[in-house]
Structure formats: structure tokens, C-alpha cells
Amino acid sequence: MTIEILLARFHSDLVTVERLSENSASTYEESVKTFLYWLQNEQIKLANVTSKELIYYFSWRKKEMKVDDLTIAKDISALRSLGSYLVRTNLWQENVAALLERPKASRALPKVLSIDEVEKLLSVIDVSTPLGVRDRALFELIYSCGLRISEAAGLKIENLHLNERLLIVHGKGDKERMVPFGESAKSWLENYLSNVRPNLVNDKVVPEVFVNYSGNPLSRKGIWKNFQKLESLSGVTSKIHTLRHSFATHLLAGGMDLRSVQELLGHSDLATTTIYTHVDDSQLREGHQQYFPGHVTKEGD
């Protein structure tokens, strides 16, 4: 069996058996691809792999490829899934990758934009053009709902409820969640759906909300390229995912509880959401002054 055939079958298994999203399956496939070609270069048969070979492989990854602990952790998850697949197909007797422990990688705090920076970023969109109206609706919605780029690209018309200002979002692992959005996002969406989208799709039946100039679904790459232009024009250093980080941080700063933010973001683990609880020194001082009674001296003491 060639590496290409094995990768194709593994990818299919991830989607159909393990129920991973296409994005996650592709990420795992890339990790496994690197491993399989390393085995080929080292002249090691896949059937003969033991924990010793895996340790050698990850030593090579860290020393020669200079990958960080987060990447190692992702690669180990991918190889565990590969091992599970190989056991089910009788290519391995046991999943030797299951013995590997993922490093506890420290996660840097996410970059967050201020409200002024978000407004500056969105204000440079040329809304005098049809595609500008589309982009304003798109990025307003991403910020207003804390969407991942894949969630925005895959959003269906049937899951957009304008009057109720609600989205039904299909996130990682095809998990479904309901997310409200603001008045500004609603206004731009109404403009786009009424005056722009019909002229782009013409007679086509396209289920996705956001489409490109030819009326086809707007791809993740297309969204990313359009955002890069806004970054350049506004002078605000950012990524699309930064809008999601900013959404979460602004909600928490405004007083929303952590579990509600977890639900809105679609995090399965509350620990993932706690990364947004960082606050600046001024907030700490104000909170301390407001809530800590301290030691009040009486007059004359």
C-alpha cells in the first residue's frame, strides 16, 4: 500500500468513524504524512514501529524541525488516531502511539483588539461596492458572534435567523450551538442579503450565506485574503481569529459569566475559555478598590 492510499483511507476514517471535522482530519493527515515519509527515509516499515521508533521520530522533530510543544502535542494526537485506525484494520496488533504522553505546552495569551481597533478595522471596508457590503456583513458577524473562519464560511442560509438575531453554528466535531448577534451585524446582513447576494448568485441555488463574485461559496482562503487587505489599510495588526478572541474578552470585561462565554464559543472544556479571563492592571485595581473592604481606620486612631 502506498503512502498516498494509506493517507486517503486514514482521512476517510477520521471523518466517518472518529467524526472529526474536515479541517481537523486534514490537520491530522498532514501530521501523519510527515511521520510516514520519515519512516520511508529511515527505511522503517510501518508494521515494525514500536514506541522506540516514535521516540526517535519526535526527537528528530524537535531537534531538526524545531517544532514547539504545541505542535508535538498535535502530532501525538494524530499518531494516536493513526494507531487506532491501524489496529482496527489489523496492520498493528496494538496502538503503540497510545503510550505517548503529550507535553503540557504553555499557551500564550491571545492577542486582543480594543473596541476602537475593531471599529478602525471594519471602517476601512469600502461599502460603496457590493463586495464591500458583503465583507462588512461578514466581519461584523464574525466579531459579533465570535465565529471561527470555517464556521463563517460554512454558515447556511437556513441557519441564519435575522428577526431573532440568532445563528445556528456547526463548530468543531460538528457540534451545534446557538449564538445571538448584534444590531450592527443584523443591519449589514439585511443590506447584503437584500441588495448584494441575489445579484451574485443569480439563478444558482447556493446554501451558504457568503458567496464570492461569481456566486459560489466564499472559501476560507478567500475570507483570509480579504481580511489581509483590511489589516493593511487600517494599520491594525490582527488575524481573523483575533476577532474571536476580542469577542470573548470584551464579553467577559463587560460582566458576562465564564460558562456563558464558553457556550457562545463552543468550547467543550471550560479550561479553554479561561484563557480569556486575563485583565489589565487598571481593571485589577478598580476591582480591588470596589470589592475589598480593607482596614478602615477610625477618626482619631
Give me the CATH number covering residue 93: 1.10.150.130
Instruction: Based on the residue annotation, tell me whether 80 is a catalytic residue of this protein.
Output: no
Active site residue 172: yes
Active-site residue among 148, 186, 197, 250? 148
Q: Count, in order, helices (H) and strands (E) of the chain.
A: 14, 3
Question: Binning pLDDT at 50, 70 and 90, where does residue 30 land?
Answer: very high
Structure confidence at residue 271 (pLDDT): 72
Catalytic residue among 102, 120, 156, 241: 241
Q: Is the pTM of this model over 0.85?
A: no
Q: What is the pLDDT at residue 162?
A: 93
Looking at the structure, do residues 119 and 246 belong to the same domain, yes or no?
yes
| Chain center to CA of 59 | 28
Q: How confident is the model at residue 278 (pLDDT cuts 50, 70, 90)?
A: low
Query: Does one domain contain both 159 and 252?
Result: yes
**What is residue 36's predicted lDDT score, i.e. its pLDDT?**
94
Domain containing 162 equals 115-280
- In a domain, residue 205? The reply is yes
Annotation marks residue 241 as catalytic: yes
Bridge-based pairing of strands 160-161 and 166-170 is antiparallel
Q: Look up 267 and say whether it is catalytic.
A: yes
Exactly one of 62, 172, 220, 239 is catalytic; name it.
172
Q: Is the pLDDT of residue 139 over 90?
A: yes
> Rounded to whole angstroms, how far apart are CA atoms 101 and 50?
15
Q: What is the mean pLDDT of residues 18-41?
A: 89
Q: Would you say residue 296 lies in a domain?
A: no
- In the chain, how many domains are there? 2
Q: Is the pLDDT assigned to residue 111 strictly greater than 70?
A: yes
Active-site entry in 28, 57, 192, 276: 276
In a domain? residue 289: no
Active site residue 197: no
